[in-house]
Structure 1
Amino acid sequence: MTVQAVRTVLGDIDGADLGVVFAHEHLLMTGGWPVRQEPDFRLDSVDSAVAEVGPARELGLGTVVEMTPLGFGRSPDGLRAIAERTGVHIVATTGFHKSGYYDDLHWLHHYPVDTVADLLTAEIEAGMDVHGLAGPVIHRSPARAGIIKIAAEYHRFGPGIRRLVPAIAQAHRRTGAPVATHCDKGTMAYELLDALAAEGVPEDAVILGHIDHDPDPDKLAALAERGAYLAFDMPGRAKYGPDSEIVDLIAHLTDRGLADRLLLGSDLARRSYWTTLGGGPGLPYLLRTFVPRLRAAGLGSTADAALTGNPRRALALRRG
């Protein structure tokens, strides 16, 4: 297999140029039904995003994987502006969140699998639609997506999601873009990995998101042993669990020789998480507070791998 470049909103770059990577973040969610229903999701200011990224950039941040999918006001041109103003690379996302976030008349529930695959493929190869494929007319941004998202609900796929798996797999095979999953509260990781594998997606081309919300070390080790990347994106959000729990999980996986399957992020998808908007823990937390805690626990080499070496492989476009 030939490992190729990573696709960012400003163009393809060599993986060696990514620097420190936050593997699951949200910088812009400007509208759509989920944002209207939950105003705390509304992240609609490029200026605020630039201000939030800045201190993390000063601490060494080089790349953000922006996981906002279709239906949330993704704003590809806004992401280009943030990348240009901060100097931070941004890998953007096409694909879907949980089916409950989409009206039952939404095309994802009705279009043929091949048509869905065509739409996702074009977002990666030609450019993302500035209106998030809300249709019927497509206006492409120069920004291309570099990752494909699929999301399950808590302990179930949810209406329409299972039928999207073949479309996601087709788009992966055509473009080589990695696949990222939303594992609600850490559930459905096995099921999503199995379903994608059955459609020909290599397990090492899959990033399992929110996986640390279910802090079962043996489960996580089994998933990593299959080759999937585990995105630990809970640090700093104490309402879900303490950082000590995540440190212990990372130590366990390191002891089992699985440090090469780990990624780190913080998934700050709410206004109330941003220090620039009066909340916290804020984007710098990962490098300012959590990573030093890993180093103090003797996990410095694991932290370095999760932030630099592992993302180079996980995010690479692959063909052949």
Structure 2
Amino acid sequence: MTVRTVLGDVDEIGITYAHEHLFMTGDWPVRNEPDYRLDSFDAAVVEVTEAQRLGLSAVVEMTPLGFGRSPSLMKELAERTGLHVIAVTGFHKSGYYSDAHWLHHYSVDEITELLVTEIELGMDEYGLVGPLVRRSTARAGAIKIATGYHAFGRGVARLISAVAAAARRSGVPVVTHCDKGTMGHELLDALAAEGVAADRVVLGHIDHNPDAGYLVSLAERGAYLAFDRPGRIKYGPDSDIVALVAELAGHELGDRVLFGMDLARRSYWPSLGGGPGLPYLLERFVPRLEAAGLGEVAKAALTENPRAAFALRR
């Protein structure tokens, strides 16, 4: 199985965080919320290096178009630290983009073509804000789509068509932002109608809805469930996630589980005066799973499962 990273295609990625943010350098969501601004290369090196001491080998960098995604910084970080960085093209919630943004106006075919070129030729250094493209050699390895709370949001159904077409052409998976853990089945239905199987979809933030029956029903369809809130206690205790993983394992669905931290704020980085930091998942959360008899599930969720979930499949 081959996974596309910013430094090229690789066959092994090792211990992988399936939802992370390393650089968000601008655009209006970042200007509107300064805590989102992640623009320190040195801080990113510190955060990554600390987690690598515990075994971290790869991250899926989920910063999409419109948040100051930086192919050059991702590439430089990968070269400096040896981290495998899987970048994304695609979109956050449509409300984050101005009325004049092209995603509201271009056709499905035009958007599809833009996404495919980011995967096959290289990402635009300036997030396709145009009119010129500064093509990086770093290629995207997944396509992001985001929904709102219990609703797709403006124009998202059309974007899903473009994302699905690009995924079919390129062979990369679709990764999602499920606001508060909602819209999981609706996303799977919409993507399936466009020819994208559930096992090519990673449902992000799904543990923000800690309903075991709901998560089991999504996993039974074949989707990957990205549990990305360990350590961020304001959304609920880690014990909730341990219980959810145990429930999935009891239904023999441990192969659908992925883990990440989603540390998309400066206040989450110890190097910038916050926490819990990237090491937390391996240092604090995984031992909780091991103590609950879920060590093998945790190992698969960090290694075999992400390797399968993010593999190119044409």
| TM surpasses 0.5 | yes
1:47 CA displacement: 1.1
1:160 CA displacement: 1.2
Q: What is residue 70 of structure 1 aligned with on the other side? A: 65
1:10 correspondence with 2:1? no
Q: How does 1:103-122 map to 2 (within 5 A)?
A: 103-122=98-117
> What one-letter code is carried by the residue in structure 2 that aligns with 1:96?
F
Q: Which moved more, 1:162-171 or 1:119-128?
A: 162-171
- Give CA-to-partner distance per residue, 1:191-211, whole Å, 9 cap, x none: 111100100001100000000
Q: Could you say what secondary structure the match of 1:94 adopts? A: strand
- Give CA-to-partner distance per residue, 1:231-267, whole Å, 9 cap, x none: 0001000000000000000001001100000000010
> What one-letter code is carried by the residue in structure 1 that aligns with 2:80?
R
1:288 correspondence with 2:280? no
Paired residues, number = 314
Structure 1 runs (4+) deviating above 2 angstroms are: none
Q: CA RMSD in A?
A: 0.5
Q: Could you say what secondary structure the match of 1:318 adopts? A: coil
Q: What is residue 299 of structure 1 aligned with on the other side? A: 294
* Distance in 2 between residues matched to 1:75 and 1:277, nearest whole Å: 19
Q: What is residue 243 of structure 2 aligned with on the other side? A: 248
Q: What is residue 257 of structure 1 aligned with on the other side? A: 252
Q: Could you say what secondary structure the match of 1:92 adopts? A: strand
- Give CA-to-partner distance per residue, 1:41-69, whole Å, 9 cap, x none: 00001111011111100100000100000
Q: What is residue 156 of structure 1 aligned with on the other side? A: 151
Structure 1, unaligned runs of 5 or more: none
* Distance in 2 between residues matched to 1:258 and 1:121, nearest whole Å: 32
Q: Could you say what secondary structure the match of 1:227 adopts? A: coil
1:299 CA displacement: 0.3
* Distance in 2 between residues matched to 1:101 and 1:190, nearest whole Å: 23
Q: Could you say what secondary structure the match of 2:203 adopts? A: strand
* Distance in 2 between residues matched to 1:288 and 1:84, nearest whole Å: 25
1:88 CA displacement: 0.8
Q: What is residue 239 of structure 1 aligned with on the other side? A: 234
Aligned-pair identity (%): 68
Q: How does 1:214-233 map to 2 (within 5 A)?
A: 214-233=209-228
Q: Could you say what secondary structure the match of 1:64 adopts? A: strand
Structure 2, unaligned runs of 5 or more: none
* Distance in 1 between residues matched to 2:157 and 2:41, nearest whole Å: 34
> What one-letter code is carried by the residue in structure 2 that aligns with 1:305?
A
